[in-house]
């Protein structure tokens, strides 16, 4: 049996609902052999996940970086998965801190807009719900659910709420700069869900080719937001560009219905990520 390798999950260090210790325990219970913790723009979950790592489970330390491409107007947001990078690399640390601060400011502005329209949501309660993690729209979605205004996170992300009417842009990292920073920190950058048209606009294949020339290592193909045709397109593009291909759940706990290990990465791609990095895959010490 092939090992179960899930390279995209989120904890309460960003917008997941399981704490890092709960996440690694759930990964082991789901039968995974390898799990990556990839919270948004933060490495805060790494150490608690490592301290709770069950025997037999390998931990890939990573992050999902909020990036932007300015080659179109308006500019296009996208996400970059960064694996096994040095968490103390000064330039990358500074950029992540800047993006987290921008997320916080955006969240507060969204709540102010909601309140200006008479919608009774509390910014202090949303901050408390984030528990010190990177604040994101899912935390505001939970406030809307608690207020009885929407029934689900998906509804909260619809056009009447956080998907359009109350959506505000945030300050992201230029995607080419992000690739360079991850590589300079000894990490391996992989483009997250690059063809997910159900999420909105997508980047052209030509940009992915430029990113590959700049150091992009791979593309996430098997993802719940990719249709079968989109998965095949990503695989074909990766083959043309010599990029590795990953698959993963993008697990967020109860914020999403997808389960750990719903999509997985082939061992060859995983080994290539490890080989291209200067980081270490963590295993339980006991």
Task: Tokens 């080719």: give the residue.
Answer: 209
Residues in the chain: 286
- CATH class of the structural domain 5-97+170-283: alpha beta
Q: What is the pLDDT of residue 195?
A: 96
The yes-or-no verdict on residue 286 having pLDDT over 80 is no
Q: pLDDT > 70: what percent of the chain?
A: 99
Alpha-carbon 168 to chain mean position: 19
Summary mean pLDDT of the chain: 94
pLDDT tens, 146-204? 999 999 988 999 999 998 899 998 889 999 999 999 999 999 999 999 999 998 899 99
What value does the mean pLDDT take over residues 268-278? Answer: 97
Q: What ranges do the domains of the chain cover?
A: 5-97+170-283
Q: What is the pLDDT of residue 136?
A: 84
Q: What is the pLDDT of residue 138?
A: 87
Q: What is the pLDDT of residue 8?
A: 98
The yes-or-no verdict on residue 285 having pLDDT over 60 is no
pLDDT tens, 197-241? 998 899 999 999 999 999 999 999 999 999 999 999 999 999 999
Q: What is the pLDDT of residue 1?
A: 58
Pick the residue with more confidence: 135 or 238? 238
pTM across the whole model: 0.91
Pick the residue with more confidence: 100 or 3? 100
């Amino acid at each position: 049996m092939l090992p179960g390798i899930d390279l995209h999950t989120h904890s309460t260090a960003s917008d997941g609902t399981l704490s890092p210790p709960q996440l690694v325990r759930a990964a082991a219970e789901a039968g995974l052999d390898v799990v990556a913790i990839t919270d948004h723009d933060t490495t805060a979950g790494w150490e608690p996940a490592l301290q709770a790592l069950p025997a037999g489970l390998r931990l890939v330390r990573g992050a999902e970086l909020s990036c932007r491409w300015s080659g179109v107007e308006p500019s296009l947001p996208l996400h970059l998965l960064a694996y096994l990078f040095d968490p103390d690399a000064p330039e990358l640390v500074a950029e992540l801190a800047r993006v987290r601060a921008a997320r916080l400011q955006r969240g507060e502005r969204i709540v102010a807009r909601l309140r200006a329209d008479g919608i009774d949501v509390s910014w202090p309660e949303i901050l408390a719900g984030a528990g010190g993690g990177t604040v994101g729209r899912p935390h505001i979605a939970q406030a809307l659910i608690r207020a009885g205004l929407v029934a689900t996170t998906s509804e909260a992300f619809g056009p009447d709420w956080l998907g359009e009417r109350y959506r505000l842009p945030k300050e992201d990292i230029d995607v080419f700069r992000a690739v360079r920073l991850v590589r300079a920190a000894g990490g391996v950058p992989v483009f997250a869900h690059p063809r997910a048209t159900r999420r909105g606009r997508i980047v052209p294949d030509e940009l992915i080719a430029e990113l590959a020339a700049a150091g992009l290592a791979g593309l996430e193909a098997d993802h719940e937001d990719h249709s079968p045709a989109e998965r095949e397109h990503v695989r074909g593009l990766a083959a043309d560009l010599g990029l590795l291909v990953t698959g993963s759940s993008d697990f967020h706990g109860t914020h999403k219905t997808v389960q750990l290990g719903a999509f997985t990465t082939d061992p060859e791609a995983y080994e290539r990520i490890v080989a291209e990095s200067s980081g270490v895959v963590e295993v339980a010490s006991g």
